[in-house]
Chain A
Amino acid sequence: MASSSSNLISLKTSDGTVFKVERALAKTMKTVQAIIEEADANIYMIPIHNVFSHHMDMIIDYYKLSVAGKSKEFSVEKLDNDELKDFLLAVHYLNMEDLFEVLTQAVADRLEKKSVGYVRKYFGIENDFTPEEYAAIRKKNDWAFKGDDIEPEEDEEKQEE
């Protein structure tokens, strides 16, 4: 189990870009770490599928901030939902615990306090219930729709029929 002589690990993203990252950063990616440990000889280049170069840019940003103790300054606000979801999938693939927590919290923050209709439109979730099924599931979870902290529903399900 020979280890690489240099302190940099080469990672190749799905769009072909090669990133040379510090060993410490590669260690936060459990998937990559597992590949390194599995390799018998020196491994020159580790391909990381599902991860694009713009993801790596953000990962490196996050790593730099967290090393400086400023991980709270990392923000994904500029990403739209698609981009956030893709980034979350990339980080999930790489198995990076801390950043995964940050991103799931970011998604949760975007979902919270929004009405059902809003969430549906925002994420484009298609309703595949029949009207009877919908009424049934709605009734079973009636309690969740009661209370003064609930926003009035946007009943666009009815409009879709």
Chain B
Amino acid sequence: METRSAKRKKIAQILQENEAKLKLSSIDRISDLPDHVIHHILLLLPIKCVAQMSVLSKRWKFLWITFPDLDFTTLNPFPLISTKNYKKVSKFEKLRYPLSSQNMDFITQVLSIRNAKNKDIRALCFRACLSFSRLNNLVRNAIRHNVRELDIEVDTEVDTDDFFNFPRCVISSESLKVLKLKSGFRLPPSSIMRNGFQSLHTLSLSLVILYNQPSLSDLFSESSFPLLRNLHLDMCFGLIHLRVGCRALEDLNLERCYHLQGLDVCGAKIERMRVTSCFDAYCNKTWVRMNVPKLEKLIWKFNAVTDVTVFENSNLLHEASIGFFMLKEGKVNMGRLQSANDFFSGLSHVRSLALESQTIEILSKYNIIIQPFYNLKSLELHTGLKKRNVQALAFLFRCSPTLHTLILEIINDYKIERKQWNRDLWSITSTEEEQYWESQIPSLKSFLQHLKVVKIQGFLDCANEVTLAKFLLKHGKALEEMIVCSGYSNRRDSLRRQNIRSQMMGFSWASSNAKVEFQ
């Protein structure tokens, strides 16, 4: 049996051993990862954290002063819009509190601690409220550090009507590859801008004041911006004419240019184009010209129908989403109808098409003759499916002779009652709606022979959609699947729904393979 002192000695020994083990195990665990791996981890953290870790050890100080991306936007997560810009911007933009200017001196500090060997920074991003001279100094400082990506959102300190001038030092930078600038700023004349930006591949300009140069016809020409692949222009106030012809451009995104009257896009490499909320709806001399042979994806939404459209056919067009915008009191004259027709003929090779409700309203109201979409495999229609829309739908089906998938998104305006499907009418051989669809069968022959999948969302058991669903089941020879998603949320109507379902299932279908799924 051990004596007490022997026991004590043993315990002391064990404690000592544990101490030694602890000491060993507290050797640096994370730091034997290589530098670039730690950088990789640090890039996932807010910059404040990373800067704090610079005090941990000499190596960590080194990691900080060689840190490639300086993203200060994590310091103030909300975007800035001052009151003067607020008036110009749509009423749905929220107002945020601007950041005070003294907070931005540390950016200069951070840049200054980088030594000569590790001067270069890869990216600099910040949001601030600054005077122009401060902004200019910061940008110049970043350019001196050969910055490759600049992402800046700024606003002037004082709430005056003054706007920034574009910081010209970026124009001649040879290292700058990405420039994103959001502010209320004026562009310098094209002659100055054109000769620079030799390395730029992405440009995003937001809140640009162009009243003094409403026509940007030679800024984005074939010879300027030689490496530009992505161009994004947002809220260009006063922009009336725009021509884009940059040779290397692949992606064009134009939004909220409400004063635009003329758009000319000519790009041999453009693959994706997005134009939303553009064109002056009150002007009757608007035009668009598009020569984009390699276009694969087009999003054209909330744009007023232009008076003239020249849209060269794009054989590679894969996907298009079209939503014309029409003023409530607007009338579409003959010229505009022709223009809409020309627009659609530019889309004639598309494989997947989505049409917004206003576009379908225009098609419902006016007789537009569209050439059939021979390659169309998927058609998505957003519509209120009112009585007047039914003919437009039949017309679109006629134009889609080899359609594979039809998606109908019914927009239910609960204020307006649509004609409910009356189960008493079941005994009558056919309603007016059914008769209409039956009359369309000859012209829909090809459509009915190819249609495989139908998906209807927002199904409210109203006459129009029940009739259509019935019609497609009754005559869709190739139909494989029909998915009906109810727009109802209350259980009160579940009995009604069950009745309608049993009615729909209770007649012979053209396709024996068809399956109907209710969700």
Binding site for B on A (CB under 8 A): 81-82, 85, 88-89, 92, 100, 104-105, 107-108, 111-113, 115-116, 119-120, 123-129, 134, 137-138, 140-145, 147, 149-150
What does DSSP make chain A's interface, helix, strand, loop or mixed?
helix
Asked if residues B29 and A82 are in contact (CB atoms below 8 Å), the reply is yes
Asked if residues A125 and B44 are in contact (CB atoms below 8 Å), the reply is no
Minimum distance in angstroms from B53 CB to a CB of chain A:
6
Chain A residues within an 8 Å CB radius of B30: 81, 85, 107, 123, 125
A143-B31 CB under 8 A given contacts A112-B49, A116-B55, A125-B56: no
- Indicate if B45 sits at the interface (CB-CB under 8 A): yes
- 14 A-B pairs (CB sep. < 8 Å): A81-B29, A111-B41, A111-B45, A111-B53, A112-B45, A112-B46, A112-B49, A116-B53, A126-B28, A143-B51, A144-B52, A145-B52, A150-B48, A150-B52
In the complex, how many residues of chain B place their beta carbon closer than 8 angstroms to a beta carbon of chain A? 37
Asked if residues A123 and B52 are in contact (CB atoms below 8 Å), the reply is no
Chain A residues within an 8 Å CB radius of B48: 144, 147, 149-150
Minimum distance in angstroms from B43 CB to a CB of chain A:
8
CB proximity to A under 8 Å, residues B97-143:
103, 105-106, 109-110, 113
Question: Which of A82, A125, A138, A142 has the most chain B CB within a 10 Å cutoff?
Answer: A125
* CA distance in complex: A100, B40 (Å): 10
- Indicate if B58 sits at the interface (CB-CB under 8 A): yes
Minimum distance in angstroms from A31 CB to a CB of chain B:
15
* CA distance in complex: A129, B58 (Å): 7
The 8 closest A-B pairs by CB, nearest first: A144-B51, A143-B106, A108-B44, A124-B26, A123-B30, A104-B41, A125-B56, A141-B51
Closest to A108 in B: B44
Asked if residues B28 and A123 are in contact (CB atoms below 8 Å), the reply is yes
Chain B residues within an 8 Å CB radius of A150: 48, 52
* CA distance in complex: A81, B27 (Å): 12
Choose among A89, A111, A124, A134 the residue that contacts B55 (Cβ–Cβ < 8 A): A134
Asked if residues A89 and B33 are in contact (CB atoms below 8 Å), the reply is yes
Closest to B105 in A: A143
- Indicate if B57 sits at the interface (CB-CB under 8 A): yes
CB proximity to A under 8 Å, residues B54-93:
54-58, 60-61, 64
Chain B residues within an 8 Å CB radius of A129: 55, 57-58, 61
